[in-house]
Structure 1
Amino acid sequence: MADSHLERWGAASLLAVCLLIGTPVLLAQLAGDRPTIGPPWLWWCCYLGFLGLLTLTFRDDVPRGAPLPVAVAVAGAATVLTAPRAGWTSILLVFVAGLAAHLASRRVTVAVVAANSAVAATAAVLLDGTFAEVALTGLIYGTLQVCTVWAVRSEQRETAARRRLAVANAELRATSALLAESSRAGERLRIARELHDLLGHQLTALALELEVAAHRSEPPARAHVERARGLAKELLGDVRTAVGELRAGTPDLGRALAAIVADLPRPRVHLDVDAAVDADEACTAALIRCVQEAVTNTIRHGDAENLWIEVGRSGTGEIVLTARDDGRGASVLRLGHGLTGVRERIGQLGGTVAFDTRSGFTLSARVPAP
């Protein structure tokens, strides 16, 4: 199951637990008891406000910072203090600490944990607890919050490490693909030179010798010499054709791009390279770097499940690369070194590149056909 599916199930489970925590208060009120301090509607306002703010934190576009976690912490504290006799409500404080660790800074998280521990101790005071009971309550809930914060921070560090590893892996694969294509191009050029310098010269000399022999020979040997001279010329033509094909050989763009995106755990990459695309070495290198930047950008910033990469030809013969993901996008695009490098590489080939972040992230590059 994808990480986003697990996150959605976790959010739904957390919300369900918070709803269950409010059930004893509802049952007590229906039975005629008063588990709350003050009017019942006040507690319901605090409780429903807490649930509403908690639901907002599940959105993908929730900003990182203190305001929302602090607001949830205040609503949770009010919910606990207005119903001290409903013992299960103090569990909400542990959830608030985990939320603060996920969205807020370390300083804000420490403040939330300290405040929540004080709230739990205050609730024990409102229940006329002894000093030992009050201290033990604050200590227990403080320990639970610290464990929750530690678990959330550990998960965040692990996620960040996985992303860094995936980015490094994509960059390494792109570099390996470029080195492999460069090595293959160098080997093709070396073989072409050897064929031309060795076989080509020898066959040329052989053809000349056979031509001289044809003029000096007498029938019936002359017919055999003429056939041998014809075969030598045909073989020389075949060698020249092979040398030309080796020099004009183009890199395998589809294989190079497939090597970059192979075995990525997230996002799932859907690659489609038109077999009619015929890119030279410079164009292939630029397209490989474009795909590398699209993959690393999606891993670092997109939080996407899927990435679609398509390479084809336009009606005017241009090579067109489109990479788009289903991530969260951004309202304002800020070009970093990677995207700036992509624009420069495509510009050097006489092409154009465009970026769109309104719905996910989309990179569109057009390169003139070599």
Structure 2
Amino acid sequence: MWTSLTRLREPMTLAGVFTLAAVALGLRFLPAEVLPAATGALAAYAVAFLLLALTPEPAWHRCKLIALAAMAGLALLLASLTPRLGVAQVLLVIWVACAVNLMSPRWVVGSALLLNAAFYALMLRHEFGAPLTMTLINMGFQALAGLCVHYARRAEDSRDALARVNADLLATRALLADSARDAERLRVARELHDVAGHKLTAMKLNLRALASDPTLAARDEVRIAQQLSTELLDDIRSVVQAMRDSRGLDLQTAIRALAAPLPRPALALHIEEGVKVDDPAVAESLLRIVQECLTNAARHAGAETLTVSLKNEEAGMHLRIEDDGRMKGGMREGNGVSGIRERVAALGGELEFGTSATGGLRLDVRLPA
């Protein structure tokens, strides 16, 4: 519901709605005998237009094509009913703008030429003055509308691609920052162990040698120095051990950075407490697998939510990804899925595909401990 309202507020959709409303106002000049038929045809055209504008593309593609064909037929019907009013010309401009968003340029051009030829034939039948001139003017407006929508769509695609690249860089930077922090923490731990620990051990041995001297053994200063050196050495060992116990790479931040620029699907991320990934190569592979599933869910499944869960099992780590979309036909493995298989195989893991409760894609990756 909220997704449909969001699409309704898009500039192109609002422009189409206002144009149809203006066309509806023009119907009041029609003769009474054709007014009911023209009103019904325009209302049906408006319903088809809203179906095109408000429904998600992957899941409703066939319905959208049927609605587009209905819009073409209704526009020609109105051209026959109202040859002098100019309603059909406006509706054909809207049709071309909608077709550019749904079909390839070759199909749009071919279909538009056929529609304009039919429009020209109707104008000849109704003995409209200068039908060829009118048809060519209409084609000019249609081309202008189609090009505006085409370049607006390209700009949106470029913006989305740039946002995805930026999110990819942010996610990779998060992993690299974590990896650099772990490397620095390990270096400091080694320095403490090798330098400070070594010198404290030597000092402790020297104090023990001093304590074996009968003249110094009874002095409190020697005993206290021995005690402090022992405690300090234990403290350094504890600090070194704590620094070596890495929390792992921050996968949660990196995955959320990947999903941030996508308006759909929403990400539901669940990482079990205690899951730790220390190897940057494993973290990178998990990140790319989630990224591919996000892209597939957005482009092909029409999903609203992608659920990602990561947990520990006896045999290792289990990553499950599923969306609430609906796959069209069977599972087809393209380059993205092949890349997932290669990544999982390189880590010695297992990959399984299945279907979610809603008919979307479910993916299970199990990696050895």
TM-score (norm 2): 0.76
Q: C-alpha offsets along residues 263-304 of structure 1, whole Å, 9 cap, x if unaligned?
A: 425234333333332333254444333333333444454554
Q: Which residue of 1 aligns with 2:320?
A: 322
Matched residues in 2 for 1:4 and 1:19: separation? 20
Matched residues in 2 for 1:309 and 1:4: separation? 25
Aligned residues: percent identity? 28
* Aligned partner of residue 247 in structure 2, secondary structure: coil
Matched residues in 2 for 1:73 and 1:344: separation? 46
- Give yes or no for contact 2:27–2:39 (8 Å, CA) kept in 1: no
Q: Are 1:250 and 2:247 matched, yes or no?
A: yes
Which 5+ residue runs of structure 2 have no aligned equivalent? none
Q: CA deviation at 1:22?
A: 8.0
Matched residues in 1 for 2:256 and 2:78: separation? 55
Q: Which residue of 1 aligns with 2:187?
A: 190
Equivalent runs, 1:340-359 vs 2, <5 Å: 340-356=338-354, 359=359
Matched residues in 2 for 1:70 and 1:296: separation? 27
Moved more, 17-26 or 170-179: 17-26
Q: Which residue of 1 aligns with 2:226?
A: 229
Q: CA deviation at 1:150?
A: 1.5
Matched residues in 2 for 1:79 and 1:22: separation? 15
Matched residues in 2 for 1:34 and 1:344: separation? 65
Q: Which residue of 2 aligns with 1:273?
A: 271
Q: Which amino acid aligns with 1:97?
A: V
Matched residues in 2 for 1:79 and 1:307: separation? 44
Q: CA deviation at 1:187?
A: 0.9
Matched residues in 2 for 1:95 and 1:248: separation? 63
Q: Which residue of 1 aligns with 2:114?
A: 115
Q: CA deviation at 1:356?
A: 4.2
Q: C-alpha offsets along residues 328-365 of structure 1, whole Å, 9 cap, x if unaligned?
A: 54433333444333334344545433344663444333
Equivalent runs, 1:1-370 vs 2, <5 Å: 5-8=5-8, 31=32, 33=33, 57=52, 59=55, 60=57, 61-63=59-61, 68=66, 71-72=69-70, 75-76=73-74, 78-85=76-83, 87=85, 88-131=87-130, 134-218=131-215, 221-257=218-254, 260-261=257-258, 263-267=260-264, 268-281=266-279, 283-313=282-312, 316=314, 318-356=316-354, 359-368=359-368, 370=369
C-alpha distance 338-117 of structure 1, shift in aligned 2 (>3 A): closer
C-alpha distance 215-259 of structure 1, shift in aligned 2 (>3 A): farther
* Aligned partner of residue 333 in structure 2, secondary structure: coil
Work out the number of aligned pairs and report it: 359
Q: CA deviation at 1:3?
A: 6.7
Q: CA deviation at 1:167?
A: 2.4
Matched residues in 2 for 1:89 and 1:235: separation? 90
Q: C-alpha offsets along residues 50-90 of structure 1, whole Å, 9 cap, x if unaligned?
A: 788767756533448x9758844762464145424473244
TM-score (norm 1): 0.76
- Give yes or no for contact 2:189–2:243 (8 Å, CA) kept in 1: yes
Moved more, 80-89 or 162-171: 80-89
* Aligned partner of residue 312 in structure 1, secondary structure: strand
Q: CA deviation at 1:195?
A: 1.1
C-alpha distance 285-102 of structure 1, shift in aligned 2 (>3 A): closer
- Give yes or no for contact 1:174–1:292 (8 Å, CA) kept in 2: no
Give RMSD over aligned pairs.
4.2
Matched residues in 2 for 1:152 and 1:357: separation? 36
Matched residues in 2 for 1:223 and 1:233: separation? 15
* Aligned partner of residue 128 in structure 1, secondary structure: coil
- Give yes or no for contact 1:81–1:119 (8 Å, CA) kept in 2: no
Matched residues in 2 for 1:86 and 1:356: separation? 58
C-alpha distance 86-128 of structure 1, shift in aligned 2 (>3 A): closer
Q: Which amino acid aligns with 1:279?
A: V
C-alpha distance 171-362 of structure 1, shift in aligned 2 (>3 A): farther
- Give yes or no for contact 1:35–1:86 (8 Å, CA) kept in 2: no
Q: CA deviation at 1:208?
A: 0.7
